[in-house]
Amino acid sequence: MIYALFKTLHLLAIIVWIGGMGFAHFFLRPALAQLEPPVRLRLMHEVLGRFFAAVTVASLLAVGSGAAMLMALPAGTRVPTSWALMGVLGVIMLMIYLHVRVALYARLARAVAAGDWPAGALALGAIRRWVATNLAIGVAIVVMTLLGR
């Protein structure tokens, strides 16, 4: 029962994280491209602030529930290679997220506050590239984990 709870938390956290990246990258960003830079950058700053708060919680839940599931396994259980790879790639995703959240989002926030739209566009472009990278890694983890069964 406790393992099922941890697995549910893990999957819900992953859905929020990967689903949010997919929504932002494939639906929100293209729709906002028609807006003028000041409006687009202010709006993305606000949206990303809310999304990153959710991803912080989701990433902590994903890491915590993943570790809890591993600790709940009976002693001597062989951990599948796909799980080990999932853990390594998950840590890489977390490091990318921290870079985006701490460095790039701060750069976007400074540019928006200063009204420096070219700098804001550069920061947002860097965020987009790293989010696309994380989205690709996240989808690869899901596919690998499902096929690894």
What rounded mean pLDDT belongs to the chain? 95
CA 50, distance to chain mean position in Å, is 13
Asked whether the predicted pLDDT for residue 148 surpasses 80, the reply is no
Domain boundaries, the chain: 2-147
Quote the percentage of the chain above a pLDDT of 90. 85
Asked whether the predicted pLDDT for residue 149 surpasses 80, the reply is no
* Mean pLDDT calculated for residue range 17-35: 96
Least trusted range by pLDDT, from 15-19, 28-32, 80-84, 116-120: 80-84
CB 32 within 8 A of CB 40: yes
- Position 5 confidence tier, pLDDT thresholds 50, 70, 90: very high
CB 86 within 8 A of CB 141: yes
Task: Give whole-number Cα distances, 92 to 64, 87, 119, 149, in Å.
Answer: 16, 9, 27, 22
Quote the pTM value: 0.92
Residue 33 is encoded by which pair of tokens? 């491209």
**Euclidean distance between CA atoms 7 and 69, whole angstroms:** 7
* Mean pLDDT calculated for residue range 36-64: 97
Asked whether the predicted pLDDT for residue 80 surpasses 90, the reply is no
Length of the chain equals 149
